[in-house]
Amino acid sequence: MPRNIKVLIVDDSAIVRKVFKEQLSKQHGIEVIGTAPDPYVARDKIVKLKPDVITLDIEMPRMDGITFLKKLMKYYPLPVIIVSSLTSKGSELALEAISIGALEVISKPCEAYSVGDMSIQLAEKIRAVYGARPIGRKLGGQKKISDKVMNSGALAATTNKIVAIGASTGGTEAIRKVVTRLPGNFPGTLVVQHMPARFTTSFAQRLNEQCVMDVREAKNGDTITNGLILIAPGNYHMLLKRSGAVYFVEIKNGPLVHYQRPAADILFKSTARYAGANAMGIILTGMGKDGAEGLLEMKKAGAVNIAQDETSCVVFGMPKEAINIGAVDYISDVDAIAGKAVSILEAG
């Protein structure tokens, strides 16, 4: 039988440590082997207990989580899930942690997330990052990187096209690699990244600093136009809608789908319904099945779909599921997806 995934919880809050330990102990295949109130205690327990995964608070006394994470990635790299408060500062720190090498982020239990939902999502994230190799990545940057953008003069006529992207574990970097290479006249693009509420606001702002296209967190009723990327807000599903020739998005609550909200399947299925053959679907790194069924519906409706290849994925779950059920037309390295998308759309 496969052994349990060994987890170390690092958080200065005794309540959070207690809740996480109690809830995770109910999850099959996961064993909390220890807790630590600060990075100094965590350092000793990592050496002694050899955890498979660490959950890490980033706002702690004595040594902050970012400083500790940098040391950890340098000397003892492990899969790390960041635990952050739902604040602007917490969101920025979480994205910085991901740029250093953390693989996932989850919010501390609060009114927006019941303890039950949180424990299920945390368990799923632990399973997702288990065995993944942490890689330091660069999310920051204040300059739009137009020198890396795909040039296209043939996209101006694609006013009725829609591109839908779904991603999870490792997706923040994969999305960045795709969208920062897209030209300013690329069709309106909708993005679902499994991420908690408020974190998507900071994520959209960071991408907007790097992209030629405009990037923002979606609001209910936003019209979709060429040159615009809309990021689904954390804890809300995003659907494509259409009124005459105008595409717009609906932002709504609803049950978790594949343990996620927002869910890629919700976006993809609505895109299949309202855009049909005018759509393109892109599925990127992530654990689980989210997006596969919706992508298949898109293909049946005439859309062209691209999946990230296994080599460039942090977790090859979502793309693999989509490929296995025949929902994908092209499989591509993440660095080549933007070019592939532009060439397909140019060909009409």
Catalytic residue annotation: 168, 194, 290
Whole-Å CA distances, 94 to 99, 206, 235, 289: 9, 12, 17, 25
* Residue 281 in tokens: 């679907």
User: Closest Cα to residue 224, out of 204, 240, 202, 237?
Assistant: 240
CA–CA dist 76, 176 (Å, integer): 26
User: Structure tokens of 128?
Assistant: 């997702």
In the numeric block, which tokens belong to residue 67?
């400083």
Q: What is the DSSP letter of 61?
A: S
Sign of the alpha-carbon torsion through 342, 174, 293, 332 = positive
Closest by alpha carbon to 125, among 192, 54, 65? 54
Instruction: Tell the residue number behind the tokens 């759509």, with chain if given.
Output: 279
Is residue 128 within 8 Å of 104, Cβ to Cβ?
yes
At residue 170, the 3 state secondary structure works out as coil
Residue 187 near residue 158 (C-beta atoms within 8 A) = yes
Q: How many Å apart are CA 222 and CA 229, to the nearest integer?
A: 11
Buried b (16+ CB within 10 A) or exposed e, 281-292: bbbbbbbbbbbb
**In which residue are the tokens 């005459």 written?**
244
Q: Which three-class secondary structure state does DSSP give residue 71? A: helix
